[in-house]
Amino acid sequence: MTSEQQTIVKNGLWTNNVALVQLLGLCPLLAVTSSLINGLGLGLATLMTLVLSNSFVSIIRHWTRPEVRIPIFVLIIASIVTAIELAMNAWFHELFLVLGIFIPLIVTNCSIIARAEAFASRNSVLDSALDGFMMGLGFLLVLVLLGGLRELIGQGTLFANAHLMFGSAAEGLEFTLIKDYPGFLLAILPPGAFIGLGLLIAIKNSIEKHKSKQTIRVSPPVKPAEVAVQ
């Protein structure tokens, strides 16, 4: 692997992570991560879309006139998403029903057109596919992590409904944290998604801060303000 490709890998998974750094595709990210399997399902669909759209855009990059490139990218992405949607409807019908509108909405995920425009339209097919794969993988990992956290805190399980994805053999995968866990509904409700993503971003930032070991100037402690009395 060339050093350039290493940079692509690192960019997708960490430095330029779609969900944690670029903060793109927040709508599906926050809406479907109520369980690990949901996150995994949407993550895989997005990953596949990214790889395919990056490859196609890269293949035709020499024949695409810059004036019309955006409509062409959109057409390519839309046809890929439609194909994936139909495939999921056929083979993972129950999961498709759970994810609902968020599968067709992958079209509007900004990260996909952003990669097409910023990377695939000016790089070789192989690099573009790799970039799509790594960006998608970075997104998928965050979806799975957030979905898993919310599911674990919210209802005390992991891999619930795994059969939606892996068939009935996977039903035994479901893992229960504590028996009679009362459930922490907030984690599954929308606020849980926002708080969870915020915490993940904070953790990532603090890891980076720790790694860079730069001395960060600590702002002087704030003196408690005086409360004015009328």
Please report, for residues 88, 163, 197, the alpha-carbon distance to residue 194 in angstroms, rounded to integers and kept in the order given.
28, 27, 5
The residue (of 101 and 229) whose beta carbon lies closer to other proteins is 229
Give the Cα-Cα-Cα angle 106, 107, 113 (nearest 5 degrees).
110
Residue 24 dihedral angles phi and psi, to the nearest 5°: -100, 155
Q: Which residues pair with 176 in a beta bridge?
A: 157
Q: Distance between CA atoms of 68 and 53, rounded to whole angstroms? A: 16
Nearest to 30 by CA among 200, 208, 202: 200
Minimum Å distance from CB 22 to other proteins? 23
Residue 213 dihedral angles phi and psi, to the nearest 5°: 50, 25
Q: Are 120 and 58 contacting, i.e. CB atoms less than 8 angstroms apart?
A: yes
Contacting range for other proteins; rule: CB under 8 A; set: 12-20, 67-75, 131-139, 185-193: 185-193
**For residue 78, what are its two tokens?**
């839309």
Q: Does 166 bind other proteins (CB under 8 A)?
A: no
Minimum Å distance from CB 221 to other proteins? 5
Q: Does 195 bind other proteins (CB under 8 A)?
A: yes
Q: Does 178 bind other proteins (CB under 8 A)?
A: no
Pairing of strands 175-176, 157-158: antiparallel
Q: Which helix (H) or strand (E) holds 157?
A: strand 157-158
Number of residues that bind other proteins (CB under 8 A): 17
Minimum Å distance from CB 186 to other proteins? 4
Minimum Å distance from CB 203 to other proteins? 13
The residue from 75, 97, 177, 186 that contacts other proteins (CB under 8 A) is 186
Q: Does 177 bind other proteins (CB under 8 A)?
A: no
Q: Does 101 bind other proteins (CB under 8 A)?
A: no
Find the helix packing angle between 36-59 and 125-155, rounded to 10°.
170
Q: Does 181 bind other proteins (CB under 8 A)?
A: no
C-alpha 135, offset from chain centre: 9
Mask for 41-60, x = binds other proteins (CB under 8 A) = --------------------
Q: What is the CA radius of gyration of the chain?
A: 21
Q: Does 203 bind other proteins (CB under 8 A)?
A: no
Q: Does 67 bind other proteins (CB under 8 A)?
A: no
Contacting range for other proteins; rule: CB under 8 A; set: 2-10, 62-70, 140-148, 215-223: 215-223
The residue from 87, 126, 189, 207 that contacts other proteins (CB under 8 A) is 189
Which residues are at the interface with other proteins (CB under 8 A)? 182-186, 189, 195, 218, 221-222, 224-230
